[in-house]
Amino acid sequence: MRLDVLTLFPDLFTPFLNESIVGRAVRRGLVDIRLTNIRSFARGPHHTTDDRPYGGGDGMVMKPGPIFRALQSIERIGEKRRVILLTPQGIRFEQSVAWELSRMDQLVLICGRYEGVDERIRKGYVDLEISIGDYVLTGGELPAMIVADAVTRLIPGVLGGENSNLEDSFEEGLLEYPHYTRPRIFQNEEVPEVLLSGDHEKIRKWRRAESIRRTFQKRPDLLEKKELNREDKELLAEIRKELTEAGVEKNGKTTPLAK
């Protein structure tokens, strides 16, 4: 997969591209990530990349020329290619979008700054607009890294265990079960007995129940969308009963910071 990033701040990407799983994928040639500095395509003595908005108002708008020329300079790789603008106005980035993008030959990510990019770029050259959530950042660089990260780890061969990304949260429409590693007792808290039992079927069932419990408590919206099989339905009924008896409400918190 080839990933091109158009940005005014290429240095922001340096540690991201060199460290950890993405760094290793780059070194192994599983993903070819190229940075293009939009400023290199600006003209005039000051290499200006932004200007005041027509019609007045606050903030600055990224000029279309430098982005257009930067786009033109990018080598075309393969047939399946998408030009993506990172913007709070885009479709919400989710795991299903990451999967679709991971099947492309080339992604070109445009990082906006200031109040936005000139509308003629969006209309004429962008295939898809992506938002990473309903909040406003100072630019599209962090969102571009998020998209690049989520997509890279889905490329075959990037993760060690071939199945490790199929078990992730969201792949199955459920949150993940709790994980434990050594030591067996930490600060007086023991690892659940079932995980030490060696009984694979019992462990599978326990993990499934915990996934459903977590999803029911933390993300009931996911559970509503999911088709449950008979075993899942039985587990959910048991969990509901347990929680009702224990007087625990799902989603009891009204705001994220409420205790």
Positions touching ligand ADE (CB under 6 A) are: 86-88, 112, 131-133, 135-137, 139-140, 143
- Return the number of the residue (86 or 104) whose C-beta is nearest ligand ADE: 86
Q: Where do the DSSP E strands lie in the chain?
A: 2-7, 32-37, 50-51, 61-62, 81-92, 106-111, 128-131, 185-186, 189-190
Shortest distance (Å) from residue 97 CB to ligand ADE: 12
Per the CB < 8 A criterion, the answer to whether 155 and 103 are in contact is no
- Return the number of the residue (71 or 85) whose C-beta is nearest ligand ADE: 85
From the list 51, 53, 64, 115, the catalytic residue is 115
Cα→Cα distances 37→12, 16, 72, Å: 11, 17, 13
Shortest distance (Å) from residue 101 CB to ligand ADE: 14
Per the CB < 8 A criterion, the answer to whether 86 and 93 are in contact is no
- Identify whether 115 is a catalytic site residue: yes
* Cis-peptide, bond into residue 64, ω within 30° of zero: no
Shortest distance (Å) from residue 63 CB to ligand ADE: 18
- Identify whether 88 is a catalytic site residue: yes
State how beta strands 50-51 and 189-190 pair.
unpaired
- Return the number of the residue (5 or 158) whose C-beta is nearest ligand ADE: 5
- Return the number of the residue (67 or 77) whose C-beta is nearest ligand ADE: 67
Shortest distance (Å) from residue 136 CB to ligand ADE: 5
From the list 2, 153, 213, 214, the catalytic residue is 153
- Identify whether 192 is a catalytic site residue: no
- Identify whether 134 is a catalytic site residue: no
Distance of CA 27 to the CA centre of its chain: 22
From the list 34, 64, 82, 88, the catalytic residue is 88
Q: Catalytic residue numbers? A: 88, 115, 153, 168
